[in-house]
């Protein structure tokens, strides 16, 4: 029932069932992975982190899908960012040359403008999502979840046959 | 807990399983990787079997290696069943194959294959598209291996035609000497048939120009007012002559008019003289002189000599004539080595197409050594090809020499009977710099036969046999330019003839050239662009051959040249005479006009003088009559006065 995970995730997010930091962490890593084309070394490491760290994988999947869509939309910008860092900033050239000749770093394909652009923009976005997202989720859970649970619509939804069918299909939320 | 223990354990187990699988499958994986790289490199089927690698140091053996010949897919370019390799470990994980040392024993060249070594349609089509820089649509690609092979051959053939030396054209354009010609009684008019003499053209052209000038002069004379002026003056004189002059006054008036007419006649005489001089000068200048044609006559004689192919025995020509085509053949053979080596060195690895979300790879300076997809650092090999036993080494053979930058060094030694051959090459890049060196050295070649000429007449040597010869060829090659030299030395050189001489002249030639030449050295240099290289050639037997030939045919050639010169100069003199006769004919009417003018002028002068004299005589008579009348009147008057006095 993998396809139902996003729905389950949204529902659990609404009712505050998951750890805010785990959700934010999943979103951050997923967004980072989704933004980068191909499978360079740092993305494989990010995937390992996703599996090893106790972050929300459903959140990561949703963020990954979102990032892939956004990267198609913004790839000229991402490419320009990569080109800026790799070519236009002269001060970084000696560092890039060193990295280029490093056998391990070469596997990251950092010298590709798209990969570098995605690394920069995805990295910044991931940090923002992990920090700001976590604090927003905590705020939401402390001040909004209790109020939301008292809404009649929400109560009706919880009791509805649809919710019970979903809980049964998903193996119990 | 921040870490998922189960996931970490699962990843650990996966890594261990993956490692174990790699160890089990590594031989097949590396075999397949190696086959793919070799196939791409040689553009022909490459098969590796029986690879066994030590998992620790990755040293191993290959039980069979076969690389098909892309030009002849039914045979292998190389084949060996005994190879040892030391493969670098880490590059494998990066998708590259770096072989530190490779030792191939019992290498066979040109061994037949059981199946075709041509690539499958897709691979061949892709390779062809890469070669031409265009993408071949799948629908246009050939459907069978044979078709792919044919297309490859066609592409290669076209490249040869466009980019490489046209050896046949070079050989055909070399000077040739037909010695048999000197034996024949030369029929000069036949030999010079079709010759267009420039001197004759110049004569015709000048004749036309002069005719035009004479015509213009005639028109000018016809339209001139000289005749009119003469007629008018004659009329004036006639009027004066017929006028009824009865007194002195009218006679003096007429004499005054004569003075004025005299001035007109003088002006007419001056004009006539000028016209006459100018016209005579032009007619004289119209006559053609031989000295005016000297430059063209000299050129015509040279052209006629070329057409008749009566060449002087020039020492410079001998080497080219005798050994030119053969040297080109040697150069061609050596260039084949260069081509063979060059075709396996692509300029760079093909770049990935730039698709959306692919970005651009920025290349930074390589400081720690660039790693190509395929690299053989050191390869040693030995084997047999027919009766030849060979051994050699190859260093820095890579799929991307342009970026790998280290020179590809090949050394190949072979032995055929007592002769030894060495092929060495250092290929730095395929750019347009002369920095790729190829050296071929052959030592102690017992009998080497050089084909000299395709002619089969008994007076032209068709083969040279070199005994105990050495050959050293050094060639420096860029992408489109080359520079090279060949030194061929031999203890003796014997020239042989295709047919035995039956005529005296042929026997003389065969005797002259048939004796051995000792200590022969032939030097050739080739330089310039690939398509039009310049060839210079010299030998230390030029003088000797020339001397022997001159002794036999020198006099005959001198005589033939003299005959030819006379033939040309006589033809020109004849034409010159005809042209001058024509010009004289054109000038005849002009001369008649001038003559008529002269006659008119003379008549005018006579008339003027006669009229003047008549008038003067008349005046004198009138004056005398007047004096007599006055005297008579005075006498009468005096008589009357005397009568009145009556003394």
pLDDT in tens, B57-67: 777 778 888 88
Out of A37, A48, A111, the one facing B361 most closely (by C-beta) is A111
Q: Round the CA-based radius of gyration of chain B to a whole number and report it.
A: 51
Quote ipTM for the complex. 0.76
Answer whether B94 sits within 8 Å of A53, measured CB to CB: no
Q: What does the H/E/C string look like for B214-272?
A: HHHHHHHHHCCCHHHHHHHHHHHHHHHHHCCCCCHHHHHHHHHHHHHHHHHHHHHHHHH
Residue % of chain A over a pLDDT of 90: 34
Residue of A nearest to B94 (CA): A107
Out of A54, A86, A107, the one facing B362 most closely (by C-beta) is A86
Higher pLDDT, B101 or B556: B101
Higher pLDDT, A163 or A156: A156
First and final C-alpha spacing in chain B: 203
Residue B430's nearest CA partner among B543, B344, B332, B545 is B344
Size of chain B in residues:
647
Answer whether A112 sits within 8 Å of B360, measured CB to CB: yes
Cβ B71 vs Cβ B11: under 8 Å: no
CA distances from B113 to A3, B74, B418, B551 (A): 55, 5, 31, 60
Sign of CA dihedral B403, B405, B406, B407: positive
List pLDDT tens digits, range A109-127: 899 999 999 999 999 999 9
Higher pLDDT, B15 or B645: B15
Residue of A nearest to B365 (CA): A97
CA distance A102 to chain B (A): 8
Q: What torsion, rounded to 10 degrees, do the Cα atoms B617, B621, B623, B624 define?
A: 140
Out of A48, A54, A72, the one facing B1 most closely (by C-beta) is A54
Write the DSSP string, A24-54: HHHHHHHHHHHHS-S--HHHHHHHHHHHHB-
Out of A52, A75, A101, the one facing B4 most closely (by C-beta) is A52
CA distance B449 to B535: 21
The crossing angle, in degrees rounded to 10, of helices B198-222 and B294-308 is 150
Cβ B592 vs Cβ B216: under 8 Å: no
Enumerate the residues of chain B whose CB falls inside 8 A of the CB of residue A48. Answer: 11
Q: Is B485 helix (H, G, I), strand (E, B) or coil?
A: strand
Answer whether A48 sits within 8 Å of B1, measured CB to CB: no
Domain of residue A64 covers 2-169
Mutate to test the interface with B, among A103, A110, A118, A120 (most CBs of B within 10 A): A103
Q: Is B108 helix (H, G, I), strand (E, B) or coil?
A: strand
Q: Is the Cβ of A45 closer than 8 Å to some Cβ of chain B? A: no
Residue B343's nearest CA partner among B164, B528, B474 is B164
Q: What does the H/E/C string look like for B293-342?
A: HHHHHHHHHHHHHHHHCCCCCCHHHHHHHHHHHHHHHHHHHHHHHHHHHH
Residue of B nearest to A41 (CA): B94
pLDDT of residue B169: 57
pLDDT of residue B312: 57
pLDDT of residue A81: 93
CA distance A117 to A83: 7
Most confidently modeled range among A95-99, B182-186, B474-478: A95-99
Residue B624: is it exposed, middle or buried by C-beta count within 10 angstroms (0-12/13-18/19+)? Answer: exposed
Sign of CA dihedral B151, B157, B158, B164: positive
Mutate to test the interface with B, among A72, A98, A114, A120 (most CBs of B within 10 A): A114
Tell me which of B115-129, B149-163, B272-286, B352-366 is least confident: B149-163
Higher pLDDT, B182 or B151: B182
Cβ B523 vs Cβ B470: under 8 Å: no
> 3-state SS of chain B: helix, strand, coil percent to 5?
50, 25, 25
Tell me which of B52-56, B389-393, B618-622 is least confident: B52-56
Q: Which residues contact A8 (CB under 8 A, 6 or more apart)?
A: A58, A166, A170, A173
Q: Phi first, then psi: what are they for A158, rounded to 5°?
A: -65, -35
Answer whether A101 sits within 8 Å of B363, measured CB to CB: no
Q: Which residues contact B613 (CB under 8 A, 6 or more apart)?
A: none
Whose tokens are 């939301």? That residue is A148
CA distance B376 to chain A (A): 19
Distance of CA B382 to the CA centre of its chain: 45
Answer whether B11 sits within 8 Å of A52, measured CB to CB: yes
Answer whether A114 sits within 8 Å of B359, measured CB to CB: yes
Q: Is A71 helix (H, G, I), strand (E, B) or coil?
A: helix
Q: Is the Cβ of A154 closer than 8 Å to some Cβ of chain B? A: no
Cβ A53 vs Cβ A19: under 8 Å: no
Out of B3, B360, B367, the one facing A97 most closely (by C-beta) is B367
Answer whether B359 sits within 8 Å of A117, measured CB to CB: yes
Answer whether B3 sits within 8 Å of A115, measured CB to CB: no
Enumerate the residues of chain B whose CB falls inside 8 A of the CB of residue A112. Answer: 358-362
Cβ B281 vs Cβ B173: under 8 Å: no
Distance of CA B60 to the CA centre of its chain: 57
| Pairs of CB atoms within 8 A across A/B | 74
Answer whether A113 sits within 8 Å of B360, measured CB to CB: yes
Q: Which residues contact B493 (CB under 8 A, 6 or more apart)?
A: B464, B465, B466, B467, B516, B517, B520, B541
Residue of B nearest to A40 (CA): B94
Q: Any idea what DSSP says for residue B112?
A: B
What number is the average pLDDT over the span B308-328? 63
Instruction: Name the band, by pLDDT with cuts 50, 70 and 90, for residue A92.
Output: very high
Report the half-sphere exposure of B28 (CA within 13 A, side-chain side).
5
What number is the average pLDDT over the span B508-521? 84
In the numeric block, which tokens belong to residue B643? Answer: 């009568």
> Does residue B121 register a pLDDT over 70?
no
Residue B1: is it exposed, middle or buried by C-beta count within 10 angstroms (0-12/13-18/19+)? Answer: exposed
Enumerate the residues of chain A whose CB falls inside 8 A of the CB of residue B10. Answer: 51
CA distance A4 to chain B (A): 22
CA distance A161 to chain B (A): 34
CA distance A23 to chain B (A): 13
The crossing angle, in degrees rounded to 10, of helices A113-128 and A57-83 is 130
Residue B86's nearest CA partner among B372, B401, B375, B406 is B375
Answer whether A100 sits within 8 Å of B359, measured CB to CB: no
CA distance B97 to chain A (A): 15
The total domain count for chain A is 1
Higher pLDDT, B332 or B341: B332
For residue B582, the tally of other CB atoms under 10 A from its CB is 16
List pLDDT tens digits, range A13-69: 766 667 888 889 999 999 999 999 888 889 999 999 888 888 888 889 889 999 988
List pLDDT tens digits, range B482-500: 788 888 888 998 888 888 8
pLDDT of residue B309: 64
């Amino acid at each position: 029932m993998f396809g139902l995970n996003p729905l389950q995730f949204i529902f659990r997010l609404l009712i505050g069932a998951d750890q805010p930091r785990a959700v934010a962490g999943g979103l951050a890593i997923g967004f980072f992975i989704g933004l980068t084309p191909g499978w360079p070394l740092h993305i494989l490491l990010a995937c390992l982190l996703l599996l090893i760290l106790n972050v929300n994988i459903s959140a990561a999947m949703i963020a990954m899908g979102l990032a892939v869509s956004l990267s198609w939309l913004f790839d000229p910008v991402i490419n320009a960012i990569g080109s800026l860092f790799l070519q236009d900033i002269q001060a970084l050239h000696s560092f890039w040359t060193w990295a280029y000749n490093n056998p391990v770093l070469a596997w990251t394909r950092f010298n590709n403008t798209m990969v570098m652009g995605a690394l920069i923009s995805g990295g910044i976005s991931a940090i923002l999502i992990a920090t700001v997202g976590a604090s927003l989720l905590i705020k939401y859970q402390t001040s909004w979840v209790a109020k939301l649970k008292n809404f009649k619509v929400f109560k009706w939804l919880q009791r509805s046959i649809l919710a019970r069918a979903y809980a049964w299909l998903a193996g119990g939320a | 807990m921040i870490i998922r223990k189960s996931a970490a354990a699962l990843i650990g187990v996966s890594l261990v399983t993956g490692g174990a699988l790699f160890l089990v499958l590594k031989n097949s994986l590396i075999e397949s990787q190696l086959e793919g790289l070799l196939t791409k490199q040689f553009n022909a089927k490459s098969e590796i079997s029986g690879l066994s690698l030590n998992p620790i140091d990755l040293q191993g053996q290959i039980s069979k290696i076969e690389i098909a010949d892309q030009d002849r897919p039914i045979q292998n370019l190389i084949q060996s069943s005994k190879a040892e390799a030391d493969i670098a470990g880490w590059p494998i994980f990066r998708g590259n194959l770096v072989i530190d040392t490779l030792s191939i024993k019992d290498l066979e060249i040109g061994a037949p294959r059981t199946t075709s070594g041509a690539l499958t349609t897709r691979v061949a089509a892709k390779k062809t598209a890469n070669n031409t820089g265009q993408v071949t649509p799948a629908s246009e690609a050939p459907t069978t291996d044979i078709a792919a092979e044919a297309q490859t051959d066609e592409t290669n053939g076209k490249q040869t035609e466009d980019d490489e030396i046209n050896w046949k054209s070079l050989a055909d354009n070399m000077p040739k000497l037909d010695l048999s010609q000197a034996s024949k009684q030369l029929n000069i008019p036949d030999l010079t048939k079709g010759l267009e003499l420039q001197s004759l053209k110049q004569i015709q052209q000048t004749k036309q120009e002069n005719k035009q000038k004479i015509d213009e002069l005639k028109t000018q004379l016809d339209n001139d007012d000289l005749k009119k002026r003469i007629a008018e003056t004659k009329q004036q004189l006639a009027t004066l002559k017929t006028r009824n002059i009865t007194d002195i006054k009218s006679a003096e008036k007429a004499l005054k008019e004569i003075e004025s007419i005299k001035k007109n006649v003088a002006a007419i005489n001056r004009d006539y003289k000028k016209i006459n001089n100018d016209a005579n000068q032009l007619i004289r200048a119209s006559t053609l002189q031989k000295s005016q044609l000297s430059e063209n006559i000299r050129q015509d004689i040279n052209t006629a000599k070329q057409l008749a192919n009566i060449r002087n025995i020039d020492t410079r020509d001998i080497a080219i004539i005798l050994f030119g085509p053969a040297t080109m053949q040697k150069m061609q053979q050596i260039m084949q080595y260069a081509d063979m080596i060059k075709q396996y060195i692509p300029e760079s690895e093909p770049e990935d197409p730039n698709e959306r979300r692919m970005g651009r790879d920025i290349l930074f300076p390589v400081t720690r050594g660039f790693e190509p997809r395929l690299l053989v650092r050191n390869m040693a090999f030995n084997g047999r090809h027919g009766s030849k036993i060979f051994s050699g080494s190859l260093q820095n053979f890579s799929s991307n020499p342009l970026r790998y930058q280290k020179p590809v060094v090949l050394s190949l030694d072979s032995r055929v009977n007592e002769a030894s051959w060495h092929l060495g090459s250092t290929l730095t890049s395929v750019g347009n710099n002369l920095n790729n060196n190829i050296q071929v050295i052959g030592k102690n070649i017992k009998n080497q036969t050089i084909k000299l000429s395709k002619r089969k007449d008994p007076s032209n040597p068709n083969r040279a046999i070199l005994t105990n010869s050495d050959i050293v060829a050094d060639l420096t090659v860029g992408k489109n330019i080359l520079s090279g030299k060949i030194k061929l030395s031999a203890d003796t050189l014997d020239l042989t003839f295709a047919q035995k001489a039956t005529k005296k002249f042929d026997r003389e030639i065969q005797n002259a050239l048939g004796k051995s030449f000792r200590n022969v050295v032939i030097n050739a240099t080739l330089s310039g662009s690939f398509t039009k290289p310049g060839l210079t050639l010299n030998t230390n037997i030029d003088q000797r051959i020339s001397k022997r030939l001159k002794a036999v045919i020198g006099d005959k050639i001198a005589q033939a040249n003299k005959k030819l010169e006379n033939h040309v100069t006589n033809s020109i003199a004849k034409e010159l005479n005809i042209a001058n006769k024509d010009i004289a004919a054109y000038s005849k009417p002009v001369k008649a006009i001038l003559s008529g003018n002269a006659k008119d002028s003379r008549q005018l002068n006579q008339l003027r003088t006669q009229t003047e004299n008549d008038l003067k005589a008349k005046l004198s008579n009138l004056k005398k009559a007047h004096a007599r009348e006055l005297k008579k009147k005075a006498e009468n008057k005096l008589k009357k006065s005397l009568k009145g006095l009556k003394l």
